[in-house]
Chains A and B, each alone.
Chain A
Amino acid sequence: SQQGEEDPQALSIQEGENATMNCSYKTSINNLQWYRQNSGRGLVHLILIRSNEREKHSGRLRVTLDTSKKSSSLLITASRAADTASYFCATGLITQGGSEKLVFGKGTKLTVNP
C-alpha cells in the first residue's frame, strides 16, 4: 500500500511564483525524501530530511518535516519552466526483518508556465 500521499495531485503556476507540495505519511519513519521525475524518465533524488530534522534547504528547494503531524512540504521558490515535472515523496520504512524499504507517494504533477 502507498505510504506517502502528496497533495495537490496537480499544480499549475506561472514562472517566478513559488510552488508548495505536501506529503503525508502513516507510520514512523527514519527519513523522508523528495524526488523529481521528468516525463517518461527515471526519478532523480532532490533532498533527504531525517526524522530528527525539521527543515532543510538546497538551492531553491526548502523541505520541512513535522513528525507530529506525519507530514512534509516541498517548496520551490522562484519557479522556472524547467521545474515542470512530477514530484514524489518517499519514506524509508523499517521492515520486520530490520531492513529498510523505500515507499513512494502518488506524486504531484507541477506545471510551470513561462
Chain B
Amino acid sequence: SQTIHQWPATLVQPVGSPLSLECTVEGTSNPNLYWYRQAAGRGLQLLFYSVGIGQISSEVPQNLSASRPQDRQFILSSKKLLLSDSGFYLCARDRGETEAFFGQGTRLTVV
C-alpha cells in the first residue's frame, strides 16, 4: 500500500522550543520525499525535497531543516521555533512523474 505515516496530528509548542516532525513511508523504495507547509486557507509551499538518503534540497531560507536518515524516513526539524513557523505541515512522496501521496498532516501552533 502507498501509506505515509506522519505524526503528530497536532502540536502546540512555545516559541524557542525545538521541533521534530517525522514522516515514514511504506510500499515503495527510493521515493522522492517532500515537506510542504500550508498557511491557513493558502496554497502549499515546498520547503524541502529529497531524492535519496542524505540528499536534501531546500527551497526557501528559513528556520527549519530536514534530514533523511533512512530511505523511507524524512524528518523536519527546528532548533528554535518562531511564531511564523505555525502552519499545517504535509509530508508527501512520489516516484517522479507520477502521482504524489500525502500524509494527513501536522498542525503546528507556536505560542
CB distance from A59 to the nearest CB of B (A): 16
Check B105 against A42 for contact (C-beta < 8 Å). Answer: yes
Cβ of A111 under 8 Å from chain B = no
Q: Is the CB of A45 within 8 A of B99?
A: yes
Does A52 touch B at the CB level, under 8 Å?
A: no
Q: What A residues does B44 contact at CB under 8 A?
A: 43, 88, 104, 107
Interface of chain A: mostly helix, strand, loop or mixed: strand
**Cα–Cα distance between A104 and B44 once the two chains are bound (Å):** 6
The answer for the CA separation of A94 and B57 in the assembled complex, in Å, is 13
Residue of B nearest to A90 (CB): B100
* Nearest CB of A to B79, in Å: 25
Q: Which of A33, A95, A109 contacts B57 (CB under 8 A)? A: A95
Out of B32, B43, B107, which one reaches A100, CB within 8 Å? B32
Residues of A contacting B6 with CB < 8 Å? 42
Number of A interface residues in the complex (CB < 8 A): 27
Contact partner of A88 (CB less than 8 A), chosen from B43, B96, B103, is B43
**Which residues of chain B from 39 to 63 have a CB within 8 Å of any chain A CB?**
41-46, 49, 51, 57
With a CB–CB cut-off of 8 A, which chain A residues contact B88? Answer: 40
Nearest B residue (CB) for A95: B57
Closest to B52 in A: A99
- Contact A100 to B41, CB < 8 A, known contacts A40-B88, A95-B57: no
Tell me whether A99 and B96 are in contact in the complex, defined as CB-CB below 8 angstroms, given that A41-B105, A106-B42 are known contacts: yes
**Can you pick out 13 interface pairs between chain A and chain B where the beta carbons lie within 8 Å of each other?**
A40-B88, A40-B105, A42-B102, A42-B105, A45-B100, A48-B98, A101-B32, A102-B32, A102-B92, A103-B46, A104-B44, A105-B43, A106-B42
Where the two chains meet, the residues of B that have a C-beta atom closer than 8 Å to any C-beta of A are 4, 6, 32, 34, 36, 41-46, 49, 51, 57, 88, 90, 92, 94, 96-105, 107
Listed in ascending order, the chain A residues whose CB lies under 8 Å from chain B are 2, 30-31, 33, 35, 40-45, 48, 88, 90, 92, 95, 97, 99-107, 109
